[in-house]
Chains A and B, each alone.
Chain A
Amino acid sequence: MVDSLRESITVVAPELAVLGGATIGLLGGLFLPKRMGSGFATFAAVIGLILGAALVLYHFQGDPRAEYSAFGGAFRSTSFIAFAKIVAISCAAIVLLMGEGHRARFGLSGFEFAPLIGLASAGLMVMLSADDLIVLYLGVEMLSLPSYVLAAFARDDRRATEAGLKYFVLGALASGFILYGSSLVYGFTGAIDFAGIAAATYSDIPLLFGLVFIICGLAFKCSAAPFHMWTPDVYEGAPLPVVAFFASAPKMAAVAIFARVLFEPFGPAFSDWAGVLQVIAAISMVWGAIGALTQKNIKRLLAYSSINNVGFALMAIATGPALGGQAVLLYMGIYSLTVVGVFAGLAALRGPDGAVETLDGFKGLSKSRPGMAIAMTILFFSIAGVPPLLGFWGKLYVFTAALEAGYVALWAIACVATVVAAGYYLILIARMWFDEPVVEIAPRGPATALTMDLAAIFVLVGLGFFGIIESAARIAAGQ
């Protein structure tokens, strides 16, 4: 037992590093003088995240197809998980770095901001690595609890408080769904570990009941329609850097664990859940595209955009592990990194009275801030899926997977949704380039603008990296 415990701890080392960074940051923030404490907390949390990513890479440096199992089959690390983890942790670290220095503007001046993001990241890593239903639930909670707090972090802002409360109540309901589903699955298979569930028979209707409950809960966590109701309200109310985090790291993790739960324990029931996933994907794509059309607030618009994008990722999951595994990793990885750039741009835009949140704020951006307008245009084109940019290739893989799986109707719906969604990105871009400025834009903040530029460059010259990303995702998906 001693030896296996030691081995187990080496497997969870990345999680421990992230957790340790966040905790040291908390202690520093508490005991250091006030001005130093906040910076130190961010620094420690970022170091923890970077160390965590490095350790994940280290595990897979020799053999990318290696698989690690720890704690008697409760925890697992494969390259699929590692890919999702590295993307998610990178997003979290970027969010922390870009927010530093002007967090007070968003009501995030407390030093606990960075450690909470670190703790949420540790939670999403645990969730990604879960190999039984209890660890899955604990990971989901460990990610959700800091998220609720982060949403309400600006506690003097009524909208932020409302967002936090709404997120908490609905999130608790979704957690209850996952728990109830898990208990049904346990009751009818007698196993909580993923391998044991996969080995069980699938004739039991109640077992599928449990699966459907778990699907509902996970769909809520990655804000897929029809479980998306909380997304626009939480995105609108929560502070911008927090929304940047919500839209990237947890989303990547939630979609990846969604894929793992369906592929691994419920893999034998593929024919049962494929249809459910197709319906959820179709509703998300269509509703995300249509809902965004009437939005006046940029954060609400991006919330619908994220619902729409999760729909594409779920379409990839619905095609099964062989066809969709690589596509879902590629799609969500590219989307998460791009959307961090978009939010960095939003955080850098500053009007006379606080952050620019209405679409009108973008009018004439090309005249007042040409560089920023170019970068934002590239990022929006990428999310819309305009050819040479990185976002297009992500979409291409998803669409190809859907066609190969023979989901022609779903494929057609996805095409229409892409066109409609492209419409509102184009409206945004048109406002930037063809309208007169109506809002005075303050000088750009250094870190956020840099992040956005880097993201834009990443998306623009991503083709060069695309080979690397593509092969990484392919290996990760085990092909």
Chain B
Amino acid sequence: MNLTAAAFYILGGATILSAFFVIAARNPVHAVLWLIAAFFAAAGLFVLIGAEFLAMLLIVVYVGAVSVLFLFVVMMLDVDFARLRQGFLNYLPLGVLIAGLLIAELFLVGAALGENGAASLSEGKIEPSPGAVNNVTAIGRVLYTDYVLHFQLAGGILFIAMIGAIVLTLRERPGVRRQDVGRQVGRRPRDAVKLVDARPGQGLQIPE
């Protein structure tokens, strides 16, 4: 067994194990942490197949942003996870059926691969590796040239999503105190501070 195979089995096992604990963990925060572990292991698998850009993307986007979002949701919203899980057993037969189907499909794909070799599925139509340059260079070469329209459209969609989120959630509340920098800076000490000669034993009457 060479080193790559060993790494594959370790990372693959770690992915499956963490994925299992995501659904088995009682504490939802632990479940999210296991999810992050699963992402890390999957990123390692991506590195193994030579997709280092995807691996980094997985860590930056999923671990850095999505999981943190999950953590926020889990910690900030008062969701009773114990009650959510109560119906779990009722759906078990359906879940087992779907899982069985998926496993059967995986075996079929594996059998086809074993029979014809990996190249047979796409018949060499797609180049799996960009050749001499690394992933990032290869993507960078086409992203802003051949795919500039796609890139800009994706930016447009993000813009629309931002507008949509603002339209649906921003409310103008009356009576909110906002910082007024001009007023703050323009305020002089003598407008705000007053020296009063307070005598001992007597209270102070503050004039309005």
Q: Evaluate contact between B146 and A142: CB separation under 8 angstroms.
A: no
Does any Cβ of A come within 8 Å of B122's Cβ? yes
Residues of B within 8 A of A164 (CB): 168
B117-175: which residues lie under 8 A (CB-CB) from chain A? 121-122, 125-126, 145-150, 153-154, 156-157, 160-161, 163-164, 166-168
Known: A112-B167, A146-B164. A71 touches B149 (CB 8 A): yes
Q: Out of B145, B147, B160, which one reaches A145, CB within 8 Å?
A: B160
CB distance from B143 to the nearest CB of A (A): 12
Cα separation A153 to B126 with both chains bound (whole Å): 44
Does any Cβ of B come within 8 Å of A432's Cβ? no
Cα separation A19 to B167 with both chains bound (whole Å): 18
Q: Evaluate contact between A138 and B146: CB separation under 8 angstroms.
A: no
Chain B binding site: helix, strand, loop or mixed by DSSP?
Answer: helix
Q: Mark A70-96, 1 if CB is under 8 A from B, else 0.
A: 111011000000000000000000000
Does any Cβ of B come within 8 Å of A162's Cβ? no
Q: Evaluate contact between A141 and B167: CB separation under 8 angstroms.
A: no
Residues of B within 8 A of A145 (CB): 157, 160-161, 164
Q: Evaluate contact between B149 and A135: CB separation under 8 angstroms.
A: yes
Q: Evaluate contact between B149 and A8: CB separation under 8 angstroms.
A: yes
Residues of A within 8 A of B150 (CB): 74, 134-135, 138
CB distance from B6 to the nearest CB of A (A): 30
Cα separation A187 to B147 with both chains bound (whole Å): 19
Cα separation A148 to B161 with both chains bound (whole Å): 10
Cα separation A139 to B149 with both chains bound (whole Å): 11
Residues of A within 8 A of B149 (CB): 8, 12, 70-71, 74-75, 135
Q: Evaluate contact between B163 and A115: CB separation under 8 angstroms.
A: yes
Q: How many residues of B contact A (CB 8 A)?
A: 21
- Residue of B with least CB distance to A141: B157
Residues of B within 8 A of A5 (CB): 148
Q: Evaluate contact between B153 and A138: CB separation under 8 angstroms.
A: yes
Q: Mark A258-285, 1 if CB is under 8 A from B, else 0.
A: 0000000000000000000000000000
B154-208: which residues lie under 8 A (CB-CB) from chain A? 154, 156-157, 160-161, 163-164, 166-168
Residues of B within 8 A of A139 (CB): 153
Does any Cβ of B come within 8 Å of A26's Cβ? yes
Q: Evaluate contact between A19 and B164: CB separation under 8 angstroms.
A: no
Q: Evaluate contact between A146 and B168: CB separation under 8 angstroms.
A: no
Residues of B within 8 A of A155 (CB): 168
Interface-centre pick from B122, B149, B154, B167 (highest chain A CB count, 10 A): B149
Does any Cβ of B come within 8 Å of A152's Cβ? yes
Cα separation A148 to B163 with both chains bound (whole Å): 12
Residues of B within 8 A of A186 (CB): 126
Q: Evaluate contact between B168 and A149: CB separation under 8 angstroms.
A: yes
Q: Evaluate contact between B122 and A112: CB separation under 8 angstroms.
A: no
Q: Evaluate contact between A190 and B126: CB separation under 8 angstroms.
A: yes
Does any Cβ of B come within 8 Å of A189's Cβ? yes
Q: Evaluate contact between A187 and B164: CB separation under 8 angstroms.
A: no
Q: Evaluate contact between B164 and A135: CB separation under 8 angstroms.
A: no
Cα separation A115 to B154 with both chains bound (whole Å): 18
Residues of B within 8 A of A389 (CB): none
Residues of A within 8 A of B156 (CB): 19, 119, 122, 142
- Residue of A with least CB distance to B156: A142
Q: Mark A380-392, 1 if CB is under 8 A from B, else 0.
A: 0000000000000
Q: Mark A162-206, 1 if CB is under 8 A from B, else 0.
A: 001000000000000000000000111111000000000000000
Known: A1-B145, A112-B163. A138 touches B168 (CB 8 A): no
17 further A-B contacts with Cβ under 8 Å, apart from A110-B167, A116-B163, A155-B168, are A1-B145, A71-B146, A71-B149, A112-B167, A116-B164, A119-B156, A119-B160, A119-B163, A134-B147, A135-B153, A139-B153, A142-B157, A145-B157, A145-B160, A149-B163, A164-B168, A187-B121
Where the two chains meet, the residues of B that have a C-beta atom closer than 8 Å to any C-beta of A are 121-122, 125-126, 145-150, 153-154, 156-157, 160-161, 163-164, 166-168
Q: List 16 A-B contacts (CB under 8 A).
A: A26-B163, A71-B149, A74-B149, A74-B150, A75-B149, A112-B163, A112-B166, A115-B163, A119-B160, A138-B150, A138-B154, A139-B153, A148-B164, A188-B122, A188-B125, A190-B125
Where the two chains meet, the residues of A that have a C-beta atom closer than 8 Å to any C-beta of B are 1, 5, 8, 12, 19, 26, 70-72, 74-75, 110, 112, 115-116, 119, 122-123, 126, 134-135, 138-139, 141-142, 145-146, 148-149, 152-153, 155, 164, 186-191
Shortest 9 CB-CB contacts between residues of A and residues of B: A190-B125, A149-B164, A71-B149, A138-B153, A112-B167, A190-B126, A145-B160, A74-B149, A134-B150
